[in-house]
């Protein structure tokens, strides 16, 4: 090995000095331990003979050693097939004793047998291991190996020991810098996660739109957790499924999209939802190969997945799913933190769902209020169904029979018979009575606007559609929709109405989104739909779907026993409205009204009584048929000479009846008009009024 007092020639000293300089430069230029080691190997090889070099270091005594070994023949890193323990190398001995170790491979201890086998395969015969130590701590060891025996002299050991001191300082700096970077990254990660918690909390209180809320949260979680995919699913309890409400996947292939439905049973997300426990998966997702959602994740090339249940009030309401395109498993610390995030998200979802429910109820109440206010203004004059005739009792019995069901009802009857009152009675006696009763007269809406009125439209669906409109079927959800004059619906719209009845689904005009409705349909018509079917003016399938429970409302001429009740009801109603006092309705008037045929049914009677209350100046109802004015068409002109003419019939009946009652009163009072026993008092009329009626009717006293 040479003598300790051996003096090196000047060129060798210069070379070593240059090596020190180069090592110093390398230390200043490199901070990564592995890169630094690669540069030092090249510089040391200029002044130290070795065919094998290795370095082992660690931050703390409790940490494992990091090892780098290089075969100088091919300048490649050696990676042992089996990992050597510190006791099987010279590293631990040098590290603990802080003394160099010189050995030939044949002299190595039995505990280093595996290391010796590796060195023999490399034909290494001499080993020199030196400690890497600074003034503050022990770092590890550097080891040189040579294919020659007795390669390293004491002078070379001293030189390498000095270089090892510089190397130790360099590694110490590199390790300190790496530790500082890790601490900085951990601090940044911690701050990022705290910011994420704060952001989620802010979203809870500031964003109440469910889908916008979930999208914002998904983006923030994916960014902070350094994931490639983030998705939020909520439960669809009716179908035992989960619905993907929000997706943030910039590099996705498009298989995972919003509104994707998948089963709770047999899926990773569903298992996390059902057990209320986090679940992590690594590709190829063993045990979930039959799950469609797991298959979709595999098609998206996700390698690592974490499913976290959203738990609120001891029940799961959804699942947060994070995924990575790389084999980077989620640590327990990640799962613990994400569980806190999931709790915040669950609170946000609960708030958003509550807000959406309140908003929908408010909108529904607002819609119902508009319709109900309109109905109150225009229809409350029919407070109830008036009558006690046998035909009316038959209809009411049918109403009580069909009302508790959800069956479609078709009401037949002439115009003005009160078909809408029957429809309202069916609604009032049904379990839907607390829900809206929405009506539409199909004949009163232009054909081009009828579809929009029934099903609604989106903004811009057609010219003039400046805003979104809610259709009657949507407003009537859960309640009853009454379509009057249903025979007027055009054929092209009947198909869509049939679909609503059969599938309970429809689309707004200008929208592809399918909406559902649970509205019960009651239809009414004064036309013969069966005849219209034979004339191909009405779809037969729609007719059969409507004609489940037909109800025929009798005309007023078949309810003569109800006419006195209706006359009194309308008289009281209009008297209160006009702030008049109507105390008496002459029996002659009642008799005359009962004998009339009423082609306009109850609506005509209502108009006659309203007009009578207007012209009556005293407490006695005075019906003056001369003031009646009905529109005349060719048919009415032809019928004017007929006894069945509307004006003529009512005029003749009333005149004849009134004449008879006045004559009877005059005869009983011996033709005395005034006075307490006169005819005017008997008839409940003023003297002047009676005299005018006598003159108008041409009543004269005939001498015996």
pLDDT tens figures, 283-330: 878 778 788 888 888 888 888 888 989 888 888 888 988 888 888 778
CA 560 vs CA 386, 387, 523: distances in Å: 12, 10, 26
pLDDT value at position 486? 92
What percent of the chain has pLDDT above 90? 12
Residue 220 makes CB contacts below 8 A (sequence gap 6+) with: 196, 199, 200
pLDDT at 5: 43
Output the pLDDT for position 641. 36
Band (199; pLDDT cuts 50, 70, 90) = low
- 504's tokens: 């309970």
For residue 407, what pLDDT is reported? 92
Cβ partners under 8 Å of residue 212, min gap 6: none
User: 443 exposed, middle or buried (CB, 10 Å; 0-12, 13-18, 19+)?
Assistant: middle
Distance between CA 278 and CA 309 in Å, rounded? 6
Task: Output 594-599 pairs: Cβ under 8 A, ≥24 positions apart.
Answer: 594/560, 594/563, 594/564, 595/653, 595/657, 596/649, 596/650, 596/653, 597/557, 597/644, 597/649, 598/555, 598/556, 598/557, 599/646
pTM of the model: 0.45
- Given a cut of 80, whether residue 649 has pLDDT beyond it is no
- Say how far apart CA 600 and CA 590 lie, in whole Å: 17
> Please, what are the domains in the chain?
10-180 (3.30.450.40), 207-355 (3.30.450.40), 381-554 (3.40.50.300), 558-697 (1.10.8.60)
State which of 24-38, 176-190, 558-572, 662-676 shows the largest mean pLDDT: 558-572
Q: Looking at residue 80, what is its pLDDT?
A: 64
């Amino acid at each position: 090995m040479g003598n300790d007092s051996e003096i090196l020639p000047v060129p060798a000293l210069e070379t070593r000095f240059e090596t020190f300089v180069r090592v110093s430069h390398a230390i200043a230029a490199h901070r990564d331990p592995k890169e630094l080691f690669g540069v030092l190997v090249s510089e040391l090889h200029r002044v130290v003979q070795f065919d094998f070099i290795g370095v082992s270091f660690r931050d703390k005594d409790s940490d494992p050693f990091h090892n780098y070994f290089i075969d100088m023949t091919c300048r490649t890193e050696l990676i042992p097939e089996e990992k050597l323990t510190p006791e099987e190398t010279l590293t631990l001995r040098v590290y603990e004793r802080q003394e160099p170790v010189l050995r030939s491979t044949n002299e190595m201890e039995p505990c280093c047998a595996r290391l010796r086998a590796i060195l023999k395969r490399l034909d290494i015969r001499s080993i020199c291991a030196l400690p890497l130590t600074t003034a503050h701590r022990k770092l590890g060891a550097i080891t040189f190996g040579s294919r020659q025996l007795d390669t390293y002299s004491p002078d070379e050991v001293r030189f390498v020991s000095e270089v090892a001191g510089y190397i130790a300082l360099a590694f110490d700096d590199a390790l300190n810098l790496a530790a500082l970077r890790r601490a900085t990254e951990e601090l940044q990660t911690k701050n990022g996660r705290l910011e994420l918690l704060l952001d989620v909390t802010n979203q809870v209180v500031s964003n109440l739109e469910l889908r916008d809320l979930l999208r914002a949260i998904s983006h923030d979680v994916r960014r902070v957790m350094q994931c490639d995919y983030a998705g939020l699913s909520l439960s669809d309890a009716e179908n035992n499924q989960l619905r993907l409400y929000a997706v943030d996947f910039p590099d996705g292939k498009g298989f995972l999209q919003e509104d994707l439905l998948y089963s709770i049973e047999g899926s990773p997300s569903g298992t996390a939802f059902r057990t209320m426990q986090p679940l992590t998966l690594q590709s190829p997702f063993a045990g979930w190969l039959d799950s469609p959602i797991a298959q979709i994740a595999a098609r998206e090339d996700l390698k690592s997945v974490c499913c976290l249940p959203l738990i609120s009030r001891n029940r799961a309401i959804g699942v947060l799913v994070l995924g990575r395109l790389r084999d980077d498993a989620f640590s327990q610390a990640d799962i613990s933190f994400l569980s806190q995030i999931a709790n915040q998200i669950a609170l946000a979802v609960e708030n958003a769902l509550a807000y959406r429910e309140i908003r929908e109820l408010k909108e529904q109440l607002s819609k119902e209020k508009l319709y109900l206010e309109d109905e109150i203004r225009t229809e409350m004059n029919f407070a109830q169904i008036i009558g006690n005739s046998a035909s009316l009792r038959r209809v009411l019995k049918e109403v009580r029979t069909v009302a508790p069901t959800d069956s479609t009802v078709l009401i037949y009857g002439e115009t003005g018979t009160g078909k809408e009152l029957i429809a309202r009675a069916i609604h009032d006696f049904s379990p839907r009575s607390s829900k809206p009763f929405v009506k539409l007269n199909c004949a009163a809406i232009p054909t081009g606007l009828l579809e929009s009125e029934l099903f609604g439209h989106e903004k811009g669906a057609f010219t003039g559609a400046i805003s979104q409109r809610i259709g009657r079927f949507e407003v009537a959800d859960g309640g009853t929709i009454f379509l009057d004059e249903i025979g007027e619906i055009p054929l092209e719209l009947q198909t869509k109405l049939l679909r609503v009845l059969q599938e309970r689904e429809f689309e707004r005009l200008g929208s592809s989104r399918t909406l559902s409705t649970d509205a019960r349909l009651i239809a009414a018509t004064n036309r013969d739909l069966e005849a219209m079917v034979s004339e191909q003016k009405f779809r037969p399938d729609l007719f059969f779907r409507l004609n489940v429970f037909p109800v025929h409302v009798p005309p007023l001429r078949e309810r003569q026993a109800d006419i006195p009740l209706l006359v009194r009801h309308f008289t009281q109603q209009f008297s209160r409205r006009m702030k008049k006092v109507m105390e008496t309705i002459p029996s002659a008037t009642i008799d005359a009204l009962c004998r009339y045929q009423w082609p306009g049914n109850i609506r005509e009677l209502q108009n006659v009584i309203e007009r009578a209350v207007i012209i009556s100046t005293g407490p006695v109802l005075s019906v003056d048929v001369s003031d009646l004015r009905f529109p005349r068409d060719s048919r009415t002109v032809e019928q004017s000479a007929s006894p069945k003419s509307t004006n003529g019939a009512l005029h003749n009946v009333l005149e004849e009846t009134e004449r008879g009652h006045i004559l009877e009163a005059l005869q009983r009072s011996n033709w005395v008009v005034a006075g307490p026993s006169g005819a005017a008092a008997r008839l409940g009329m003023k003297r002047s009024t009676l005299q005018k009626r006598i003159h108008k009717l041409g009543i004269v006293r005939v001498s015996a």
